Structure 1
Amino acid sequence: MPHAQLQPVLDHIDADFDNSLARLFALLRIKSISADPAFAADCKAAADHLAQDIATFGFAAEVRPTAGHPAIVAKSSGNGKARPHVLFYGHYDVQPVDPLNLWDRPPFEPVVTDHADGRKIIVARGAEDDKGQLMTFVEACRAWKSVTGALPLDITILIEGEEEVGSKNFVPFLETNKDELKADFAMVCDTSMWDADTPAITTSLRGLVYDEVKIKAANRDLHSGMFGGGAQNPIRVLTRILGGLFDDNGHITIPGFYDGVKDLPPDVLAQWKQLDLTPDSFLKPIGLSIPAGEKDRLLIEQLSSRPTCDVNGIVGGYIGEGSKTVIPAEASAKISFRLVEGQDPAKIRKAFRDYVTARVPADCKVEFGDHSLAPAIALDWNMKPLAAARQALTDEWGKETLLIGSGASIPIVADFKKTLGLDSLLVGFGLDDDNIHSPNEKYDLKSFHKGIRSWARILASLAELPR
């Protein structure tokens, strides 16, 4: 039945698109910067605005308090039949706009303008991340209600206001409300397409271990003329340890690091090879040319399906203007590991710390600082909602939907699995050049329009699945 009603819904989306754009612009004008307490009232205003808007087409929408910025819970009324129930997630908070002088126009005054290559784009902070993305789903629901008077399946919309600051108050909110948020699976619209014309579903997310190591030696900074050659230099100790994390082939040398890591299924690897992601196409635009990961792996594997280690910062000694001949008393570094399915974040952190500790000279001490841990996420390739969404996207875009891995982490996906027991379907319409977290953030007008149509199709396909 839902598929029989789909074409009128799609026609309505096209006819009402100018109004959809106006509703998005109203949300984009709200300065919901979660990181800055000065914008707390704006975050509350964004939550109120969304709840009121979603309520206009039949959802029971409430703004709920958390220990930080509020969340929105909106529920559609069921039709009394046993049908799928989905939980949709998005976030209304945005990144700070600094440096403001690099914006071509005020960041909270949205506009449709021309991209250098002729595309029509929406420019504003939050245009892609995540207001434009979440509104594709909201507008699809609105179209279904406008045309048919009902939604094709049961939906709970969950929108938070602290994703850009780590969702630290949102996880306790999930715990407190987990019975109310039960569903068959979750849907997240915070990911990307393969390119401007090729839809994609993200089927894996790398996990994260973020650690900090500090090497301490003498009880004060030392004169290098008086003590050089005799006293341990923490910078030398630290850089020797960090340099040993990789062998000449780009493999990470920590014992047990690759335990549990699996190769891609042959059919997936074959599909990825056909995408022909090359150093010239990916690295050249950022001024590089040679992949730095494991030499026996494709570039796309290095970026999406293999674990990594990166040194994110090093501090030690004198770094001011001029010279100061000093042997510092301490040196520190921040290191991140992106993990894949099969790796335990706690074990990886312990293995790294054991690796460092074993290489610290007897005359030095080492300290570690606790930071983030998040497991990798991988969808079941045979999951029925995945197949249904994939076909719906293919029908809309006219190109086969790719199943891709993401090198990034979306911690809330792991939280949905751990707290609510839900797998997540990751569908988004962002592009690599959307400048998220940067000045002149944009969202392609085509991504917004066809994103709405895509969700309308996905809802119709999911409605026909058995619960």
Structure 2
Amino acid sequence: MDHLKELDRHFSEHREAHLAELNDFLSIPSISSLSGHKGDMRKAAEWLAGSLKAAGLENISIDETSGQPVVYADWLHAEGQPTLLIYGHYDVQPVDPLELWDSAPFEPEVRDNKLYARGASDDKGQVFMHVKAVEALFKTHGKLPVNVKFCIEGEEEIGSPNLPAYVEENKDKLAADVIVISDTGMQGPGQPAVCYGLRGLAGVQIDVKGARGDLHSGLYGGGVQNAIHALVELLASFRDKEGTITVDGFYDDVRPATEEERGEYGKLGFDEEALKKELGVSELFGEPGYSHLERTWTRPTLEINGVFGGFSGEGIKTVLPAQAGAKITCRLVPDQDPDDIVQKLRSHIEKNKPAGVTVNITEFDKGKPFLTPYDHPAIQAAGKSYERVYQVPTAYTRGGGSIPIVAAFDEILGLPVVLMGFGLSSENFHAPNEHFHLENFDKGLRVIGDYYFEVSSALSGAE
């Protein structure tokens, strides 16, 4: 693989310069959820556009949306070759609590071969790797083995509210053969993984209301419904003692994992005993008949995320709370639909509503599940590139979490999605001291560069 040797030489020679550039990108506090950082969002988009231009890409634009802009670029001169749409995001999470950071979140610092900064792993570092991989190929080969388009948004950390409309309006501009996203993680240190599926999401808030106001428990206790008791009764009705969801029809549309998939998961050697020790729990819990990986990758969930109501201050207050509430999220699997699941939750709540209260339901985040067959040539090509660089077998995994825009890409553009990430679950993304292992930065650059050759061969030769 002469191209890999050339890439290795290039990345080795330019490592310090690349890290210095990445530090500039990471120094911009592009926090999409805070309106005070609107100027920083624009600055990050402009920085990225400049970086794409310097790398050799063309048709660069900062496309306006109703929120933060989308940065677009392309290079479309590989005649007869597939087109890759590279997606990522330049926005980051807030940094609170600031006092828990060991170094300033927007002043990047390398410690123990780890780059510490907000966005280092999620997702600026991984987006930057794709830019530098393209640049390296231009400098070592003068051209790319595939056509590429970049679509980098600034609202992923707030749920990508404006990207689906942007994608819908720009179908022709974004037309491609496969979508490549590096915003996920590896199976573990030195253990590369290609994620071929993600769970969807449906969230609701339940508000229970009893009397006009809190009541004296001596005067009214035993004679008027307590909103918290009613809420607890309702929440308990959602699952049985083994964790199976008891909402009518909840599992009707679940597409089971294939026996081949389940067999592959068994080969990963996942250590459930080690997980229990890491989490500090005496035993794992979940739907009977499934391993922990199957429960968290291929089965739907219903989880209570928060409960509120009544008096929780020091001492005791003898009242019957008039109001109580809870937040619930469901992780969904193919072929479940978020709107259908929310309707089934509504029906279950109406059917099981305790006497003496009214219940109001507010809908929140929704996202459809996503699945590309793991034997798809574009996914297998990614596995080969990982193995070539890391020198170990690639794991083919599903993710338990949700990236709603992935399902939107799948639905709107109808393309296979390859999730080839380089982060580790221990890297504190969304938390203080976010960092990126530079071993995976170094190897990831080479994996991406090699992948462009591998996917060219795989897709141009695939029927």
Q: Work out whether residues 305 and 327 of structure 2, in 8 Å CA contact, stay in contact via their aligned partners in 1.
A: yes
Range with greater deviation from structure 2 (70-79 or 149-158): 70-79
For residue 416 of structure 2, what is the aligned residue in structure 1? 423
For residue 251 of structure 1, what is the aligned residue in structure 2? 244
Q: Work out whether residues 140 and 456 of structure 1, in 8 Å CA contact, stay in contact via their aligned partners in 2.
A: yes
**Structure 1 length as normaliser, TM-score?**
0.95
Amino acid at match of 1:412: I
User: Is 2:409 the partner of 1:410?
Assistant: no
Amino acid at match of 1:208: L
For residue 78 of structure 1, what is the aligned residue in structure 2? 77
Matched residue of 1:247: which SS? Answer: coil
Between the two proteins, the alignment pairs up a number of residues equal to: 459
Range with greater deviation from structure 2 (437-446 or 68-77): 68-77
Where does structure 1 differ by over 3 angstroms across 4 or more consecutive aligned residues?
3-6
Please state how far the C-alpha of 1:362 moved relative to its aligned partner.
4.2
For residue 273 of structure 1, what is the aligned residue in structure 2? 266
Please state how far the C-alpha of 1:293 moved relative to its aligned partner.
1.1
Q: Work out whether residues 136 and 449 of structure 1, in 8 Å CA contact, stay in contact via their aligned partners in 2.
A: no
For residue 117 of structure 1, what is the aligned residue in structure 2? none
Per-residue Cα deviation, 1:347-395 (whole angstroms, up to 9, x for no partner): 2111111111111134321111021221111112331111111111111
Range with greater deviation from structure 2 (314-323 or 346-355): 314-323
- Counterparts of 1:291-330 in structure 2, within 5 Å, are 291-330=284-323
For residue 109 of structure 1, what is the aligned residue in structure 2? 107
- Counterparts of 1:147-166 in structure 2, within 5 Å, are 147-166=140-159
- Counterparts of 1:19-418 in structure 2, within 5 Å, are 19-60=17-58, 61-79=60-78, 81-114=79-112, 120-418=113-411
**Structure 2 length as normaliser, TM-score?**
0.96
CA distance in structure 1 between the partners assigned to 2:276 and 2:35 by the alignment: 38
Please state how far the C-alpha of 1:4 moved relative to its aligned partner.
5.3
Please state how far the C-alpha of 1:262 moved relative to its aligned partner.
3.3
Range with greater deviation from structure 2 (252-261 or 202-211): 252-261
Please state how far the C-alpha of 1:275 moved relative to its aligned partner.
2.5
Q: Work out whether residues 293 and 302 of structure 1, in 8 Å CA contact, stay in contact via their aligned partners in 2.
A: yes
Amino acid at match of 1:20: H
Range with greater deviation from structure 2 (11-20 or 39-48): 11-20
Amino acid at match of 2:45: A
Q: Work out whether residues 280 and 289 of structure 1, in 8 Å CA contact, stay in contact via their aligned partners in 2.
A: no
CA distance in structure 1 between the partners assigned to 2:234 and 2:354 by the alignment: 11
CA distance in structure 1 between the partners assigned to 2:330 and 2:418 by the alignment: 24
Range with greater deviation from structure 2 (165-174 or 269-278): 269-278
Please state how far the C-alpha of 1:406 moved relative to its aligned partner.
0.6
- Counterparts of 1:427-442 in structure 2, within 5 Å, are 427-442=420-435
Amino acid at match of 1:202: C
CA distance in structure 2 between the partners assigned to 1:287 and 1:450 by the alignment: 33
Matched residue of 2:335: which SS? Answer: coil
Amino acid at match of 2:44: A
Q: Work out whether residues 92 and 159 of structure 1, in 8 Å CA contact, stay in contact via their aligned partners in 2.
A: yes
Matched residue of 1:239: which SS? Answer: helix
Please state how far the C-alpha of 1:174 moved relative to its aligned partner.
1.7
Q: What is the percentage of aligned positions where both structures have the same residue?
A: 38
In structure 2, list runs of 5 or more residues that go unmatched: none
CA distance in structure 1 between the partners assigned to 2:243 and 2:307 by the alignment: 21
Matched residue of 1:285: which SS? Answer: helix
Per-residue Cα deviation, 1:292-323 (whole angstroms, up to 9, x for no partner): 21132111112221111110111111223332
CA distance in structure 2 between the partners assigned to 1:408 and 1:159 by the alignment: 21
In structure 1, list runs of 5 or more residues that go unmatched: 115-119
Q: Work out whether residues 6 and 460 of structure 1, in 8 Å CA contact, stay in contact via their aligned partners in 2.
A: no
Matched residue of 1:302: which SS? Answer: helix
Amino acid at match of 1:66: T
Matched residue of 2:110: which SS? Answer: strand
CA distance in structure 2 between the partners assigned to 1:76 and 1:195 by the alignment: 33
Please state how far the C-alpha of 1:457 moved relative to its aligned partner.
0.9
CA distance in structure 2 between the partners assigned to 1:361 and 1:454 by the alignment: 57
Amino acid at match of 1:228: G
For residue 7 of structure 1, what is the aligned residue in structure 2? 5
Q: Work out whether residues 278 and 299 of structure 1, in 8 Å CA contact, stay in contact via their aligned partners in 2.
A: no
Please state how far the C-alpha of 1:6 moved relative to its aligned partner.
3.9
Matched residue of 1:48: which SS? Answer: helix
Matched residue of 2:129: which SS? Answer: helix
CA distance in structure 2 between the partners assigned to 1:274 and 1:380 by the alignment: 18
Distance change (3 Å), C-alpha of 1:244 and 1:361 = closer
CA distance in structure 2 between the partners assigned to 1:448 and 1:21 by the alignment: 10
Per-residue Cα deviation, 1:46-88 (whole angstroms, up to 9, x for no partner): 1111111110132122212222222100111414x22101100
Matched residue of 1:301: which SS? Answer: helix
